[in-house]
Structure 1
Amino acid sequence: MDIRTAADYQQALDQFTAWLNNEPADLAPMRALRDAIGAYEKGQGYELPAPQTLVGRLELEMYRRKLNKKNLAALLGIPASRLSDVLQGRRINLDLAKRLYKRLGIPADFILEAA
């Protein structure tokens, strides 16, 4: 499928949403539509802005790695309650900053500026 216009794009989004609400038995057309939508968005310069906060970056990493809070806390070697504090915007210490850098690959300068 090829999406060329804004109208085609809107129609594709509507179809994809309908499939999300009522998943088809054969997922191949849904995947093809997903890829076509992605290609159109990339061609139009639609990109999500990079997170500007540490909380946003952690949420993005959780999404990318398909982790829930409990799994992320385990990966970082911290209690889930400590991770909840961080996700609520509370400050981090040097030890946690090092873990974010080493275990998640978050650049140190981003951690220092965002924390």
Structure 2
Amino acid sequence: MSQYGDIAILAVELFPDLQDPRDAWQMATEAMGQDIQTQDQVALHTFLALCEAGKVLGIPASATGPLDGDPLLMALQDLPTNPQAADGLQSTAQEVLLGLWTVGLLGEGSPEQA
């Protein structure tokens, strides 16, 4: 697994106790011994966008989620039939998306749910 994929998975696991995706991400980042860097902000925003859109299992959607035409959501929609769908995203965004998708934490269509 990748660094940001692992952080995202841990953040989902921490969410039930914290009830805030941003707090869960921060705690997961600290638990993994990572310093907050600029790249981390891209990964964080990717994680938050997926949460806000209601795509992460166990985390409710928010009213401010990304729009359907968002490149991240389009990549997620295409992943089940096109494994290269995330190629157009920044590498840290890819790590978050693919990390969560691979272990079945992203709505219907994740490999673990098939």
Bigger proportion of residues as helix: 1
Normalising by the residue count of structure 1, what TM-score does the alignment of the two structures yield? Answer: 0.24
TM-score norm. by structure 2 comes to: 0.24
Structure with greater Cα Rg = 1
Between 1 and 2, higher relative CO (CA 8 Å, sep ≥ 6) is seen in 2
